[in-house]
Amino acid sequence: MKKLALLAIPAALALAFTTTTANAADGKAVYSDNCAKCHGDDGKGATKMGAKLGAKDYSDAAVQAALTDDQAFKSIKEGLKKDDKTLMKPSELADEDIKASIAYLRTLKK
Ligand code: HEC
Protein backbone atom coordinates (compact mmCIF):
# COMPACT_ATOMS: atom_id res chain seq x y z
CA MET A 1 0.00 0.00 0.00
CA LYS A 2 2.78 2.36 0.97
CA LYS A 3 4.60 1.55 -2.24
CA LEU A 4 1.53 2.37 -4.30
CA ALA A 5 1.18 5.77 -2.66
CA LEU A 6 4.81 6.56 -3.44
CA LEU A 7 4.25 5.63 -7.05
CA ALA A 8 1.22 7.90 -7.23
CA ILE A 9 3.20 11.03 -6.37
CA PRO A 10 5.39 11.16 -9.49
CA ALA A 11 2.34 10.35 -11.59
CA ALA A 12 0.44 13.30 -10.10
CA LEU A 13 3.42 15.57 -10.62
CA ALA A 14 3.78 14.48 -14.22
CA LEU A 15 0.11 15.23 -14.79
CA ALA A 16 0.39 18.68 -13.21
CA PHE A 17 3.41 19.43 -15.36
CA THR A 18 1.67 18.38 -18.57
CA THR A 19 -1.32 20.60 -17.76
CA THR A 20 0.90 23.62 -17.12
CA THR A 21 2.78 23.11 -20.37
CA ALA A 22 -0.45 22.84 -22.34
CA ASN A 23 -1.69 26.13 -20.87
CA ALA A 24 1.53 27.91 -21.68
CA ALA A 25 1.25 26.74 -25.27
CA ASP A 26 -2.36 27.90 -25.43
CA GLY A 27 -1.44 31.44 -24.40
CA LYS A 28 -0.78 32.41 -27.97
CA ALA A 29 -4.12 31.00 -29.18
CA VAL A 30 -6.04 32.69 -26.35
CA TYR A 31 -4.28 35.96 -27.10
CA SER A 32 -4.91 35.73 -30.86
CA ASP A 33 -8.59 35.00 -30.35
CA ASN A 34 -9.35 37.44 -27.53
CA CYS A 35 -6.77 40.18 -27.33
CA ALA A 36 -5.06 40.75 -30.67
CA LYS A 37 -7.93 42.72 -32.20
CA CYS A 38 -7.06 45.55 -29.82
CA HIS A 39 -3.52 44.87 -28.65
CA GLY A 40 -2.26 43.62 -32.01
CA ASP A 41 -0.42 40.39 -32.86
CA ASP A 42 2.79 42.16 -31.86
CA GLY A 43 1.36 43.70 -28.66
CA LYS A 44 1.89 47.22 -29.95
CA GLY A 45 -1.80 48.13 -29.90
CA ALA A 46 -1.52 49.48 -33.43
CA THR A 47 -4.90 48.13 -34.54
CA LYS A 48 -7.99 50.13 -35.42
CA MET A 49 -9.61 49.27 -32.07
CA GLY A 50 -6.35 49.70 -30.20
CA ALA A 51 -5.77 53.15 -31.62
CA LYS A 52 -9.34 54.20 -30.91
CA LEU A 53 -9.18 53.04 -27.28
CA GLY A 54 -5.61 54.07 -26.61
CA ALA A 55 -3.96 50.66 -26.19
CA LYS A 56 -0.37 50.92 -25.02
CA ASP A 57 2.70 49.48 -26.71
CA TYR A 58 3.43 46.24 -24.85
CA SER A 59 6.51 45.56 -26.91
CA ASP A 60 8.02 48.44 -24.87
CA ALA A 61 10.01 47.08 -21.92
CA ALA A 62 9.17 50.12 -19.76
CA VAL A 63 5.42 49.66 -20.32
CA GLN A 64 5.75 45.99 -19.36
CA ALA A 65 7.84 46.82 -16.30
CA ALA A 66 5.17 49.23 -15.02
CA LEU A 67 2.60 46.44 -14.97
CA THR A 68 2.45 43.58 -12.47
CA ASP A 69 0.87 40.24 -13.35
CA ASP A 70 -1.66 40.76 -10.54
CA GLN A 71 -2.70 44.13 -11.93
CA ALA A 72 -2.94 42.72 -15.45
CA PHE A 73 -5.05 39.80 -14.22
CA LYS A 74 -7.42 42.05 -12.29
CA SER A 75 -7.92 44.42 -15.23
CA ILE A 76 -8.66 41.59 -17.63
CA LYS A 77 -10.88 39.67 -15.23
CA GLU A 78 -12.88 42.63 -13.93
CA GLY A 79 -12.56 44.88 -16.94
CA LEU A 80 -10.92 48.27 -17.24
CA LYS A 81 -12.58 51.66 -17.40
CA LYS A 82 -11.32 55.17 -17.83
CA ASP A 83 -13.86 57.68 -16.61
CA ASP A 84 -17.05 56.43 -18.27
CA LYS A 85 -15.32 54.76 -21.18
CA THR A 86 -14.94 50.98 -21.15
CA LEU A 87 -11.46 50.04 -22.32
CA MET A 88 -11.78 46.32 -21.64
CA LYS A 89 -14.96 44.47 -20.82
CA PRO A 90 -14.79 41.96 -17.93
CA SER A 91 -13.41 38.79 -19.52
CA GLU A 92 -15.40 35.58 -19.66
CA LEU A 93 -12.19 33.56 -20.01
CA ALA A 94 -11.19 31.01 -17.40
CA ASP A 95 -8.56 32.24 -14.92
CA GLU A 96 -5.99 29.86 -16.41
CA ASP A 97 -6.58 31.28 -19.89
CA ILE A 98 -6.25 34.83 -18.63
CA LYS A 99 -2.93 33.92 -17.00
CA ALA A 100 -1.76 32.19 -20.18
CA SER A 101 -2.63 35.24 -22.28
CA ILE A 102 -0.70 37.50 -19.89
CA ALA A 103 2.29 35.16 -20.07
CA TYR A 104 2.09 35.37 -23.85
CA LEU A 105 1.82 39.17 -23.77
CA ARG A 106 5.04 39.14 -21.71
CA THR A 107 6.85 37.35 -24.54
CA LEU A 108 6.05 40.23 -26.92
CA LYS A 109 8.42 42.57 -25.07
CA LYS A 110 11.33 43.54 -27.30
C1 HEC B 1 -11.70 46.00 -26.89
C2 HEC B 1 -10.24 46.08 -26.98
C3 HEC B 1 -9.42 45.22 -26.02
C4 HEC B 1 -9.43 43.87 -25.89
C5 HEC B 1 -10.26 42.86 -26.65
C6 HEC B 1 -8.45 43.55 -24.87
N7 HEC B 1 -7.86 44.70 -24.41
FE8 HEC B 1 -6.44 44.84 -22.98
N9 HEC B 1 -6.64 46.84 -22.95
C10 HEC B 1 -7.32 47.58 -23.89
C11 HEC B 1 -7.12 48.99 -23.62
C12 HEC B 1 -7.66 50.13 -24.45
C13 HEC B 1 -6.32 49.07 -22.46
C14 HEC B 1 -5.83 50.34 -21.73
C15 HEC B 1 -4.51 50.83 -22.32
C16 HEC B 1 -3.43 49.80 -22.23
O17 HEC B 1 -2.98 49.48 -21.11
O18 HEC B 1 -3.01 49.25 -23.27
C19 HEC B 1 -6.03 47.69 -22.08
C20 HEC B 1 -5.25 47.34 -21.01
C21 HEC B 1 -4.68 46.08 -20.85
C22 HEC B 1 -3.68 45.74 -19.89
C23 HEC B 1 -3.12 46.68 -18.81
C24 HEC B 1 -4.07 46.70 -17.63
C25 HEC B 1 -3.69 47.70 -16.56
O26 HEC B 1 -4.17 47.54 -15.45
O27 HEC B 1 -2.95 48.64 -16.85
C28 HEC B 1 -3.34 44.43 -20.10
C29 HEC B 1 -2.30 43.61 -19.35
C30 HEC B 1 -4.17 43.96 -21.17
N31 HEC B 1 -4.98 44.98 -21.61
C32 HEC B 1 -4.15 42.69 -21.69
C33 HEC B 1 -5.16 42.16 -22.48
C34 HEC B 1 -5.31 40.75 -22.76
C35 HEC B 1 -4.33 39.68 -22.32
C36 HEC B 1 -6.45 40.62 -23.49
C37 HEC B 1 -7.09 39.35 -23.97
C38 HEC B 1 -7.43 38.38 -22.95
C39 HEC B 1 -6.98 41.96 -23.71
N40 HEC B 1 -6.19 42.86 -23.05
C41 HEC B 1 -8.11 42.27 -24.45
C42 HEC B 1 -8.09 47.07 -24.92
C43 HEC B 1 -8.42 45.75 -25.09
Tell me: pLDDT of 7 over 90.
Answer: no
pLDDT at 25: 55
What is the pTM (predicted TM-score) of this model? 0.84
Confidence tier at 44 by pLDDT (50, 70, 90): very high
Averaged pLDDT score across all residues of the chain: 89
pLDDT, position 9: 63
CA of 56, closest atom in ligand 1? 18
| Residue of the CA atom closest to atom 8 of ligand 1 | 88
Q: How many CA within 13 A on the CB side of residue 103?
A: 17
Q: How far is the CA of 39 from the centre of ligand 1 (A)?
A: 7
- Find out whether the beta carbon of 101 lies less than 6 Å from any atom of ligand 1: yes
Q: What is the pLDDT of residues 63-73, one digit of tens each?
A: 999 999 999 99
Domains and CATH numbers, the chain: 2-107 (1.10.760.10)
Radius of gyration from C-alpha coordinates of the chain: 18
Which of 80, 81, 101 has most ligand 1 atoms within 8 Å of CB, for mutation?
A: 80
Give per-residue pLDDT as tens, 90-103.
999 999 999 999 99
